[in-house]
Each structure stands twice: as structure tokens, then as C-alpha cells.
Amino acid sequence: MSLLRNKALQGVMTQEIEQVAEQEGVSPEFIRQGVAAGTIVILHNSNRENVSPIAVGQGLRTKVSASIGLYGKNATIAEEAAKIKAAVAAGTDAIMDLSVSGDIDTMRKESLAASNKPLGTLPLYQALAEAGKKYGSSLKMTSEDIFEVIERQAADGVDFLALHCGTTMDIIQRAKREGRIDPLVSYGGSHLIGWMLYNKKENPLYENFDRVLEIAAKYDVTLSFADGMRPGCLADSLDGAQVHELVILGELVQRTRAAGIQVMVKGPGHVPMDQLKATVTLQKSLCKGAPYFVFGPLVTDTAVGYDHISAAIGGAVSAWAGAEFLCYVTPAEHIGIPDVNQVREGVVAARIAAHCGDLAKGMPEAVKWNLEMSQARRDLDWEKQISLAIDPATTRKVWKERSGDFSSKCSMCGDYCAMEIVSQYLGNNEQHSC
Amino acid sequence: MTQMLDARAGKITEEMEIVAAQEHMDVEYIRQGVADGTIVIPKNKKRNRSQICGIGQGLDIKVNALIGTSSDRDQMEMEAKKLKIAEEAGCHSFMDLSTGGDIDGMRRQTLSLASVSVGSVPLYQAGIGAIKKRGSMVAMTADDIFGTIEKQAADGLDFMAIHSALNFDVLKSLQKCGRVADIVSRGGSFMTGWMFHNQKENPLYEQFDRLLAIMKEYDVVLSIGDAIRPGATADSLDEPQIKGLMVAGELVKKALEAGVQVMVEGPGHVPLNHIETTMQLQKRLCHNVPYYILGFLATDVAPGYDHITAAIGGAYAGMCGADFLCYLTPAEHLGLPNEEDVRTGVTAARIAAHAANSGKRRKKAWESNLGMAKARIALDMDKQVKLALNADKLLEAKAKEHYDQCTACGETCAAQIAAEYFGIV
């Protein structure tokens, strides 16, 4: 079977390339070149029927991903499926099923069926959970167990796989040496590190990286390198452990591309505002322009309960600086598991961030959208404002609740509408419906 | 005397001491900043209150909340509630933007309830007073305006937004440049309507010395209103905005010469790629006086979530030198905020301010982040609650015992092994 990336390199316009080019309003040739160069990935597993592929990368609209998944005893597949629906309704571009317990296989099948958005997973979670059941402890997990789960998930049709391929023993020791404040942030990373230390073994995903590539090639899955050493507080940002892992991931990006497989790199995490641009620039340089899939980033550690706002700040500036894919952060971050409403809020906040980045980059669609909204606002055309809003249902609700019982047409200024007063004197009152 | 004149005379006031202690800085730095005009301390001579703060270069970024009645909703009790909520949420000041009902009564209520500094836009009351007294806003006289300013200053307002940086030259630019949203500032629109109708120059511009005399008498911080601020990202950094900023700069110079504390209000809708330029221009043209911004909103398309778009723009502007952030609530562009919106708005603006303070490595901000990181590792919930910018959601979750223990690993959690290795147990 010929891989999408190899076809692009050969100059073949695939159906997926045509499809995403149309979505993005760019030429298929632009997409083909990006895929060939590795600066664009098209999320699409060759085994999955119902996926509507999306492209992530340089020169394209910034995308967002929402994470759901079974966690803890009270989680149900039905509720997680409802979160997928809510995330899709709120406009997410992709879903990640990060189930760590329960019936993970069934959940994944449900996640694949629940929407036609590309689905990502983190196979290590399932490998750990199954080892916990099978051997009584996840520490007894074998390398074989990990690869078996990766293959199972890829065969099911997962479009992108998050794998901690770059978290090596060297890096773990560096983190300890340097006295990282918070060395255990990534759930998968922490468990993998524990497994490596307990078993005194190198990371199998690093050591047997060619096996990862073989599986990815079989199903044409996009790899998403997870960062076991992502900073979990501002003070750890851009420390030796994080940068070292990025160096290794850069090397693995080249091996992945050479194997004809698409790859992107995951990023932080907690990043102070003065380091956002540096973080993206470094990733772009070390990882040879591979798309950057950042988690937030959160620009403060203390906005607990409001981390979707903290993440929107970091995400917007990062998107502007070149990060192409934002993993949402919900208001439940650092508190618990998000409910359906928090999933929705997380998606909208991430979409606002992505869009602010796109607008700053001068992307024509983003500029046009803002202009249309501003015109609708000037014209006091409420229906148009609502239809153009990033979340029309919420906009309508807030509008009704905060002005529905008021007498004037626009309660912001009540009887003293700035636009109306000025339009009388600047001779453009015909545009004004108030 | 004003704080600024005291500072220039080498005198360290009690307010400067308070600000220095709050900011963990040398009081001489504060005095020099006040003398130079890079720092303002809003404190009307006539008003006593418990909370003092400084705004400006080298200090933590501060946050302002808006309250006030309107023609659609005139409930002083509700505004009193909002004031309490906003103070609890941690705002550093208020602006009372009342335009409905008993504006005098509302202002006095705000001044008596607030423990932080209070500002206003006197032109609102002057314009609405003219409608009542003379039948139309355009019948307002210069004496009406200055009379209102004097009355409000005598009541004890600590800062006032006054639309002086608007003149026919700026309006000519506006007419020829073809903006998407001409004027979105309400005070700016009042003044524009008045000027066109009467074919007279803006009295607040023309008689600026008269204004300065009042500000000086009570030591009110003059906040030069941004009458011509962009109300759409497409209008950002256009000719009228820059002309307005240049006029503001000239007026700032006069205020500084007169020993009047002064800051400048800013936009509005500004895409991320315009923020640094906007900030540098303001600082350069306005002689480095504090910049008090409304947002910035980094996109136009998120009504219902403008507290978030403003947090994005405000945080980045803070990194570029903005000193004072006016909050936006989820009700912006849609209606009047309720109590919950006020709480959300203050929290979002504080996150933006804190993000910038952290990015600038401000000591207090940086240490609170570090403290939170350590409290998280130690699973010290009490400390997390203490260090949270707003602990309400954390406490809610705690009350519900939302914490669901992960049991995936079986007997021994692999992450626990890693924790032991790193000495975190």
C-alpha cells in the first residue's frame, strides 16, 4: 500500500489532498507540497471509513482538538460519547480518546463511530491498564504488550497516535540532576518513567522505534510525539529536560519522515508568556517544521478553575508564533474530569485562541470573518451578529438574558447609542437600523 | 499640591509608601515614577479609603471593573452587589459609568461602598443632564461640562476619563478614512455629535487648562478618554486612531507640565500582531505615562466570550507595557452584565494581568506560580486554595469531592515509582 506522504512526494494528488485543499481554500498543490515537506499532516487512517480528514500545518487554519475518555470508576461510555457530540457541536476539529480505565476497546469503537472527526489516542494508557489487570501491576507490562495495543488501536482506525517516543533514560536522569520542580506532569510520561525506572530498561518506544514505524506504515497513521517532559509549571519551562526531549524528537521526526509516515510533535503545557515564541521557534527548528500540537499552553499556574482562559492566552500567542494545533484545556483542568458543559467551554476557548492567532497572521478567511462581524455590529444587525459568532447559541442566550427585558434596541448604551449618534453626523445613518 | 508636585519637590507621601510596600519596591523608585509621570497613584484629596494602589511602569499590572446604571436598568442595589462581587474577585478600581436614574446618588453610593479607587466619565452626566435640562445633548454648554467635572471631583472621584483628545482635525481624518465602525466610544460619540451640531471645537480640548485646574485642585488622575478608539480589528492603527493618540500626547505634556497626574486610555479591538506597535506608539507619543486599555479584544467574532478575547489581548499588551486593564465581561457587545458576569470579568482580567506579570518575572506573581506548582506536587489543597487567583471553582469541586482516584495500574502505580525516584512522595 502506498502511503499518503510518499504519494505527495511523488507528486500524486490524492483524494484526501483534494478534500482538505477545498476545506482550507488553498490549492491542492499547496497541500501536496506541505505534506511532502512534512510541514502539513493529513489526519486520516487508511483503515477508517467514516473519517472526514483534516489537515494540520503551516499556512492552514489553526485547528483544535478535544480530549475525552474513561477515567475512574464512575465514567461511562455513554457520557463520554455525549462529550464527543458536545465537542463536535462546539466546533472541534479533532477528538482524542484518552481512556485510561474501563472498557477501553469499546470506548474507542464508540469514539470512532460517534463522529467523523479524526480521532487520536494514547495507546500506552490501555497497555498500562491491561497490564494492571493481567499481572496485577502495570509495572509488569512488557514491551510486547505496548506494541500489541498500538497495533490494535491502529487497526481499529485511529487517525493519530500519541506516543512518548522521546522520553529516554538520559532525559529522566537530567530532570533529576537539574532539580525539576515538577518532573511528573504527563500521565503517560509519568507511568512510562516509573516503568523504566522499576524495570531498569530504556523506553521501548524509543529503543524499538522502527516497530512503531512499521505499525504506522501499515495503517498510514500519523504519529504525534508526546512530550513526557513537558513543563508542568512556569518555572520548569524550557529547562534542560524539555529541550533535550525536543532534540531527540527532532531526530525521530526525520526517521519518521524517511519512512514515509506523517508526524507532528506535542508541546506544553505551562509556559510563561515571554517564552511562548521561543518555545515554538525551537520546536520548529529542532523538529524541522513538523506541526506543533500544544496543550494550552497555560501562561500561569494559579488560574485553577479558569484554565481555559489561561490556555486561550497561551494558545493564541503560540498559534500566532506558528503552533498549528491546539489541544483544548477545560475549566476542570487541575480540578477533575470535565463535564459536557466544560467540554463545550474548552472547545470554544481553544477556537477563540486559534482564531486570534489566524487573524494575527493575516489569514484571509479570519480577516474576512472579523470584518463581516464588525459590519453587522455597526449595522446593529443582531441576527447576523449571532450567525457570525464563534458560538451562536451562547451568543443568543447571553444577548437574550442580558438585554431581553430592556427597552432599547441595544442595551449596551441604552438610549445613548454611540454608533447612532455619530451616524447622524457622518452621513451614514442609512446603514443603521437602530 | 498633587502627588506629582510633592514627588517633584522630593517629598515622599504616605500613598507612595503604601505603593512601595505593596510592590516590594524602593519608595524612591515610586517617588521618581510619580514625579516623571510614569506612575500614577489615584487618590482624590477629598476621599479617604482603605485601598491605595499605584499604576504604571515597573509595577504590577492592575485591573479595573465597570459598574453603573443605564437608561435600561436603573437598580442601585444591583450595582452595589456588583461592586462587592468585583472587590471580592480582586479588582483594583472601579469606574462608575452610570447614565440612568439618580446619577449623583449612584456615584455617592459607589464612593462610599468602594474601598478601592473610583473613576467616572463626567461627560455622560453632563450630556444626560443637558437632555433633561435643555432638551438635547447638543444643547449642552461648556459650563455644563466643566460644572459636572467640578461636582464629581468635589465628590471625591480618584480618576476621570475625559474625552479631550478629540478635535475637528481628528474628525476630518475619520470622515475621509472610511472606518468600519466610526466611533464606538460613547463619550466620543456625545462629543462628536455636539461638535458637528454646534460647529464648535471640543471644549475639553480647547479649554484644557480649565480642566487641568480642576484636576489639580483635587489631585484627580486625568485619564484621557479614547474617543476615537478602534471598535473593529479592521480599524486598528488607522489614521484617526493615530491622530487621536498624537493629540493625547500633546495634552499629556501639558498635564505633566501642570503637575497633574495623567494616564491615557486605549482600545478596544486590536489584533495580536498590532499590539506591540500600539503599545510602543502610545508610550512614545504619550511620554511614557500609564496606558489604560479596554481589552484589547484580539478578535471581533466571539460575543459571549469577550472576557476571553480581552484576556488574550490584555495579557499580550501587558507584556508589551500596558499598565492597567479594564475588564470585559461575557455580556460585552450583547447587553448589561449581571453579577456573575462581573465576577467572571474581573477574574479573566486578573488572569491576563497575572499572566503578563508572570511573563515579566514580577516577583509576587512568579512566586505565587511557584508556590502553586509546589502545592500541587505536595497535594496540599489548602495551599492551592490560598494561591488560586480565584478559588471558587476549586472549592466547588472540593465540596463535591470531585476527585476520582485513578486505579488503572493495579496495586502499584507506575507514576508512584517515578515520584519516589524524583523524591516526591
For testing contact with chain A, the best of B175, B189, B316, B334 (most A CBs within 10 A): B334
The alpha carbon torsion through B101, B102, B104, B110 (nearest 10 deg) reads -80
- Same domain? For B390 and B352 the reply is no
Buried/exposed code over A231-248 (b: 16+ C-beta within 10 A; e: otherwise): bbbbbbbbbebbebbbeb
DSSP, collapsed to helix, strand or coil, labels residue A40 as strand
Instruction: State the pLDDT at residue A434.
Output: 35
B186 vs A contacts (CB less than 8 Å): 413, 416, 418
Give pLDDT, residue B242. 96
* Beta bridge partner(s), residue B159: B119, B221
Distance CA B96, CA B102 (A): 12
- In B68-87, the residues whose Cβ lies within 8 Å of chain A are 70-73
Q: Are residues A325 and A357 in contact, defined by beta-carbon separation less than 8 angstroms?
A: no
User: What does the radius of gyration of chain B's CA atoms come to, in whole angstroms?
Assistant: 23
Q: What is the mean pLDDT of chain A?
A: 94
Taking contacts as CB-CB distances below 8 angstroms, the residues of chain B near A194 are 413-419, 421
Query: Residue B395's domain spans which residues?
Result: 365-421
- Taking the mean position of all CA atoms in its chain, how far away is CA B67? 12
- Residue A270: its chain B contacts at CB < 8 A? 373
Q: A376 pLDDT exceeds 70? A: yes
pLDDT of the residue at A94: 98
Q: Does residue A410 have a pLDDT over 50?
A: yes
Q: Which burial class, exposed, middle or buried, applies to A134 when counting CB atoms under 10 A from its CB (0-12, 13-18, 19+)?
A: middle
DSSP code of residue B304: T
Burial A249-273 (b: 16+ CB within 10 A, else e): bbebbeebbebbbbbbbbbbbbbbb
- The three cell numbers locating residue B394: 476549586
Q: Are the beta carbons of A297 and A318 closer than 8 angstroms? A: yes
Nine-digit cell at A150?
498500538
Q: What are phi and psi of B285, to 5 degrees?
A: -70, -30
- A370 and B189 within 8 Å at the Cβ level: the answer is no
Taking the C-alpha atoms of residue B67 and residue B87, their distance in angstroms, rounded to an integer, is: 12
- What cell was used for B344? 467572571
- Is the CB of B370 less than 8 angstroms away from the CB of A234? yes
| Interchain contact, A371 vs B174, CB within 8 Å | no
CA–CA distances in Å: residue A407 to residues A246, A293, A404, B102, B267: 58, 47, 8, 19, 28
What nine digits make up the cell of A400? 437574550
Among B275, B316, B320, B409, which would you mutate to test the A interface (most chain A Cβ atoms within 10 Å of its Cβ)? B409
- Average pLDDT of the residues in A399-410: 76
CB B52 within 8 A of CB B3: no
Q: What are phi and psi of A349, to 5 degrees?
A: -60, -40
Residue type for A78, please?
A: A
SS3 content of chain A, % helix, strand, coil (to 5): 55, 10, 35
Q: Which helix (H) or strand (E) holds B222?
A: strand B221-224
Q: Is A414 an interface residue toward B (CB < 8 Å)? A: yes
What is the reported pLDDT for B403? 56
Residues B123 and B158 in one domain: yes
Of the residues A320, A425, A434, the best mutation for testing chain B's interface (the one with the most B CB atoms within 10 Å of its CB) is A425
Pairing of strands B55-56, B39-40: antiparallel
Q: What confidence score (pLDDT) does residue A432 get? A: 40
CB contact under 8 A, A74 and B404: yes
Global confidence as pTM: 0.95
Domain count of the fold of chain B: 2
Angle at B46 between CA B10 and CA B223, to 5 degrees: 70
DSSP assigned state of A26: S
- Give contacts of A419 with chain B, Cβ < 8 Å: 181-184, 189
Among residues B359, B391, B413, which one ends one of the domains?
B359
Same domain membership, residue B375 and residue B273: no
Is the minimum CB–CB distance between A182 and chain B shorter than 8 Å? yes
Partner-chain residue, chosen from A390, A397, A418, that has the shortest CB–CB distance to B183? A418
Peptide bond into B190 cis (omega under 30): no
Contacts of B16 (CB under 8 A, 6+ apart): B3, B7, B27, B30, B31, B34, B41, B54
Nearest to B384 by CA among A335, A289, A97: A335
DSSP B410: B
Q: Cα(B293)–Cα(A55) distance, rounded to whole angstroms?
A: 37
Contacts of A140 (CB under 8 A, 6+ apart): A131, A134
**Looking at the structure, do residues B337 and B381 belong to the same domain, yes or no?**
no
> In this complex, is the C-beta atom of B422 within 8 Å of any C-beta atom belonging to chain A?
yes
Q: Where are the alpha helices (DSSP H) in B295-410?
A: 306-319, 339-359, 363-377, 381-387, 392-399
Give me the domains of chain A, ranges plus CATH numbers: 57-362 (3.20.20.540), 365-431 (no CATH)
Q: Please give the ipTM for the structure prediction.
A: 0.94
Percent of chain A with pLDDT over 70: 96
Helices and strands, counts by H and E, chain B: 19, 10
Q: Provide mean pLDDT across the span A364-382.
A: 94
pLDDT tens-digit map of A323-363? 999 999 999 998 888 999 999 999 999 999 999 999 999 99
Which of B313, B331, B359 finishes a domain? B359
8 A C-beta contact, residue B275 and residue B296? yes
Whole-number Å distance between alpha carbons of A372 and A369: 5
Residues B9 and B24 placed together within one structural domain of the fold: yes
Q: What is the Cα gyration radius of chain A?
A: 23
Q: Which residues contact B125 (CB under 8 A, 6 or more apart)?
A: B98, B99, B103, B104, B148, B152
- Quote the pLDDT of residue A124: 97
Q: Does A273 touch chain B (CB under 8 A)?
A: yes
Q: Are residues B327 and B399 in the same domain?
A: no
| B370 and B261 belong to one structural domain | no
Cα–Cα dist A47/A1, whole Å? 12
Are B376 and B354 in the same domain? no
Question: A367 in contact with B at a CB cutoff of 8 Å?
Answer: yes
Q: What is the DSSP string of A103-144?
A: SHHHHHHHHHHH-SS-EEE-HHHHHHHHHHHHHSBGGG--HH
Q: Touching check for B421 and chain A: CB below 8 Å?
A: yes
β-pair partners for A326: A64, A294
Residues in chain A: 434
The shortest CB-CB distance from B312 to any of A135, A316, A425 is to A316
Contacts of B422 in chain A (CB under 8 A): 175-176, 180, 183-184
A209-219 pLDDT, tens per residue?
999 999 999 99
From first CA to last CA, the distance across chain A in angstroms is 62
pLDDT tens, position by position, A193-241: 999 999 999 999 999 999 999 999 999 999 999 999 999 999 999 999 9
**CATH number for B204:** 3.20.20.540
B419 touches chain A (CB under 8 A): yes
B240, B370: one domain: no
- The answer to whether residue A150 scores a pLDDT higher than 90 is yes
Cβ-defined contact of A274 to B360 (cutoff 8 Å): yes
Q: Give bridge partners of residue B234 from the DSSP assignment.
A: none
In sequence order, what are the beta bridge partners of B292? B265, B324
Contact B123, B80 (CB under 8 A): no
Among B341, B359, B377, the domain boundary falls at B359
CA A247 to mean position of chain CA atoms: 21
Separation between Cα atoms, residue B353 and residue A168, nearest integer Å: 37
Q: Nearest CA to A326 among A279, A280, A266?
A: A266
- Among A57-61, A71-75, B99-103, B394-398, top mean pLDDT goes to A57-61
Backbone φ/ψ region at A148: left (φ over 0), alpha (ψ -120 to 50), beta: alpha
Determine whether the interchain pair B417/A180 forms a contact, defined as Cβ–Cβ distance below 8 Å.
no
B49 shares a domain with B196:
yes
Kindly state the average pLDDT of the residues A3-18.
Answer: 96
CA distance B206 to chain A (A): 21
Helix, strand, coil share of chain B (percent; to 5): 55, 10, 35
Which positions of chain B have pLDDT values less than 70?
401-408, 411, 425
Contact (CB, 8 A) for B274 and B237: yes
Residue B182: φ, ψ to 5°: -55, -65
Closest CA to B142 of B122, B157, B158: B122
Rounded to the nearest angstrom, the minimum Cα separation between B425 and chain A is 12
**Alpha-carbon gap, residue B385 to B390, rounded angstroms:** 8
> And the C-alpha cell for A193?
518513567
Q: Do B349 and B383 have their domain in common?
A: no
DSSP string computed for B86-114:
HHHHT-SEEEE---SS-HHHHHHHHHHH-
Continuous H helices in B156-218: 168-177, 186-198, 203-206, 208-218
Please check the confidence at residue A52 and state whether its pLDDT lies above 50.
Answer: yes
Residues B343 and B369 in one domain: no
Given pLDDT bands bounded at 50, 70 and 90, which one contains residue A185? confident
Q: Which residue has the cell 491491561?
A: A130
User: Quick check: A302 and B354 CB within 8 A?
Assistant: yes
**Nearest CA-CA partner of A31 in A61, A55, A7, A3:** A55
> What pLDDT is attached to residue A428?
55
A-contacting residues of B 116-135, CB under 8 Å?
Answer: 124, 127-128
Element housing A161 (H / E): strand A160-163
Looking at residue A165, what DSSP letter applies?
Answer: T
- pLDDT at position B74 is 84
All three cell numbers of A73: 470508576
